[in-house]
Amino acid sequence: MASLKIQSKHAAPTEIAADVLAVGVVATGKKGDFGPAVAALDEALEGALGKAIAKEEFTAKRGQSVEVQTLGRIEASVVVLHGLGEAEALKGDGIRTFAAKAARSAQASKATTLALVVPEVLEKASRTIGEGLELGVYRFTKYFTGDRVPKSSLEKVTVVPATKPTAEWKKQLELGQKIGAAINHTRDLGNEPPNTLFPASYAEIAAKMCKENGIECKVFDFKEIQRRGMKLIQAVGQGSVNEPRFVHMTYTPTKKAKKKIVLIGKGITFDSGGLSIKPAPGMGDMKSDMSGAGNLIGFMQAIAALEPAVEVHAIAPLAENMPDGKAYRPGDIWGSFDGKTVEIVNTDAEGRLLLADALAYARALQPDLLIDNATLTGACVVALGANCSAFYATTDEAAAAFQKAVEAAGENMWRMPLLEDLRDQVKSDVADVKQAGDRMGGSITAALFLREFIGDQKHWIHVDIAGPAFADKAFGWSPKGATGHGVLTFLALVEQAAG
């Protein structure tokens, strides 16, 4: 559910009452030319804004800001200018970041009301602005008590476009807020502690979201997982007191579906490494190893709001990877839903096992495009850094469509190669395949292992979100902690398919 009241109003910036008046400013390259809104504000503030601009050497570069107290000379208490960069380079990510940063900084200053002045160049971006505002106010405060509970939060935003907003403009603003709220739901799951978010509780959350949004939801318990022969999910999950689950959510459009897309998300609700146990430093962050599955909740919630003419399936294999007397071991050989046998070489390479069974299950749906997303490998973070995901594709056609979606969403992802020279690394001497290859090229060999389970599915994309899924500091429109990275790209891909 959205946490903000967002409205739109066409009025002079000097007449808008708010704790903070945030103004988006486009860089024109002309000294002192920051548009009519800034000029009017500077006049009303008796030149104080112009002096601050000069002192801070503000040129409206992207990310620049300057703040001025109004001292009662206009209705707003504080004016903050946010640089947007040059209009030609301004895309969705910049617009979303502007709105998110404006909301985040206003909330940090304990403001309860914000007015966002939108320059004319952003007149068609109301949905993106709505997304950014809702994403920007996100905080995970569920477990704070006493003095730690925030005493105030941003409650109301008035978006001020350069021209009178149309009914469609307002509709898109509302849709953007719903999408932002859906991603914030995903963030909540990623930030939940593992003692409250485990396979069964995730399944309950998924079922509740689906019921509220008219989405079909099937949940397989551990007995059903075993009955169906999902042996790799069984292997990973049987070492925990919290038994595994398998969740399948389905959105069916009211109109004839133009395409069918299946998205899978890795759902390791806590990853101790199993018997190949992780070192203590950083293990607490392994509550985020369910981020791929977490993305599915926000994704499907947003799909319900978008109502695309595409049949969409979201599949979450869920387990805890824990070491006990029942835990699977290095050296084990397990069967799979696909039928292939798998040699286990490292119980800390568990996510790909869940995905393998899920991919084999999903391919029977015969989708036009099959995608999985997972916090899969540290090797991906080494290769691309903490703020960029890797994606792999079996066809250039699928890769091109996905790249177009990445660019539309403004998320940071990079195509990586499925190098056939490394395929021998996942061949086993004692089974059909082994679960992991050498340390070098680890993200690639993980993708090659997964490819073994897609059968004759032509178009498949694997997305390794290990870096950006959980952030150690806020950046762009993403907060510290769980980010929901990937959801906007997957939504863009579905919207492309809808035409």
- Coil/strand/helix, residue 235: helix
Residues 6+ apart with CB under 8 A from 168: none
In a domain, 167, yes or no: no
E-only strand ranges, 64-111:
65-69, 78-86
Mean pLDDT of the chain, nearest integer: 95
Q: pTM for the complete prediction?
A: 0.96
DSSP classification of residue 137: T
Go through 318-338 and write b for each residue having 16 or more CB atoms within 10 A of its CB, e for each that does not.
Answer: bbbbbbeeebbeeebebbbbb
Q: With both helix axes pointing from N to C terminus, report the angle between 291-306 and 487-498 in degrees, rounded to the nearest 10.
A: 40
| Catalytic-role residue among 127, 287, 352, 434 | 352
Determine contact, residues 85/60, Cβ cutoff 8 Å: yes
Instruction: Dump pLDDT digits (tens) for 478-494.
Output: 999 999 999 999 999 99
At 123 the pLDDT is 82
**Nearest-angstrom CA–CA distance, 197 and 400:** 36
In a domain, 172, yes or no: no
At 32 the pLDDT is 75
Q: Which of 161, 194, 209 is the last residue of a domain?
A: 161
Q: Which of 161, 196, 228 is the last residue of a domain?
A: 161
At 2 the pLDDT is 60
Residues 6+ apart with CB under 8 A from 396: none
In a domain, 169, yes or no: no
From residue 212, how far is each of 118, 155, 209, 305 by CA, in Å? 33, 24, 5, 11
Average pLDDT over residues 370-386: 96
At 110 the pLDDT is 95
Same domain, 398 and 429: yes
Average pLDDT over residues 147-160: 94
In a domain, 166, yes or no: no
Split at pLDDT 50, 70, 90, the class of 138 is very high
In a domain, 378, yes or no: yes
> What percentage of the chain exceeds 90 in pLDDT?
92
In a domain, 176, yes or no: no
Same domain, 103 and 218: no
Same domain, 196 and 334: yes
At 382 the pLDDT is 95
Average pLDDT over residues 295-317: 98
Q: Which domain holds residue 15?
A: 5-161
Same domain, 285 and 215: yes
Same domain, 442 and 294: yes
3-state helix, strand, coil in the chain (%, to 5): 40, 20, 40
Residues 6+ apart with CB under 8 A from 71: none
Told to judge if 110 belongs to the known catalytic residues of this protein, a careful annotator would answer no
Same domain, 246 and 151: no
Handedness of CA 191, 195, 198, 200 (dihedral sign): negative
At 460 the pLDDT is 98
Residues 6+ apart with CB under 8 A from 32: 50
- Coil/strand/helix, residue 222: helix
Average pLDDT over residues 252-274: 97
Same domain, 216 and 348: yes
Checking DSSP bridges between strand 413-415 and strand 389-393, what pairing results, if any? parallel
At 1 the pLDDT is 53
The region of weakest confidence among 136-140, 150-154, 172-176 is 150-154
Same domain, 278 and 137: no
Same domain, 283 and 152: no
Return the closest-CA partner of residue 340 out of 250, 241, 404, 426.
Answer: 426
Q: Is the pLDDT of residue 471 over 80?
A: yes
Side-by-side strand order, sheet with 333-334 = 333-334, 342-343, 433-434
Same domain, 338 and 477: yes
Average pLDDT over residues 216-232: 98
Same domain, 262 and 321: yes
Same domain, 261 and 375: yes
At 122 the pLDDT is 87
Told to judge if 352 belongs to the known catalytic residues of this protein, a careful annotator would answer yes
Write the CATH number for 92.
Answer: 3.40.220.10
In a domain, 174, yes or no: no
E-only strand ranges, 339-405:
342-343, 369-374, 389-393
In a domain, 200, yes or no: yes
Write the CATH number for 282.
Answer: 3.40.630.10
| Catalytic-role residue among 73, 91, 218, 278 | 278
**Nearest-angstrom CA–CA distance, 286 and 201:** 17
Q: Is the pLDDT of residue 233 over 80?
A: yes
Cα maximum dimension of the chain:
81
* Domains held by the chain: number: 2
